[in-house]
Amino acid sequence: MSNTLDRVIQILVEKIGIAPTEATTDANFIKDLGIDSLDYAEIVMEFEQSFNIRIPDSDAERLQTVGQAVEYIDEKISA
């Protein structure tokens, strides 16, 4: 498991109180994890702070699963 995935799962557990086992790479933020738009905005801000990156709103809207978020963050970090 990647460090990015571990940190993303930790953020989800802390912010929305899910079990770590729920945050699989194919888990959809809305359908599977029950995250609403306000929670999602907070999570995106936490991703930005934790990984020291900027996630434009247009990109954030396309991140629908935990795996997509991890891939996106990894790309931003390595760029």
DSSP string, 2-51: -HHHHHHHHHHHHHH---GGG--TT-BTTTTT---HHHHHHHHHHHHHHH
Is pLDDT at 79 greater than 90 in this prediction? no
For the chain, domain boundaries: 3-78
Catalytic residue numbers? Answer: 36
Note the CATH number of domain 3-78. Answer: 1.10.1200.10
Q: Considering Cα of 62, then 28, then 54, then 72, what sign does the dihedral take?
A: negative
| CB of 25 closer than 8 Å to CB of 70 | yes
User: Residue written as tokens 């994890």?
Assistant: 33
**pLDDT tens-place string over residues 15-35:** 999 999 999 999 999 999 999
pLDDT band at 6 (very low <50, low <70, confident <90, very high): very high
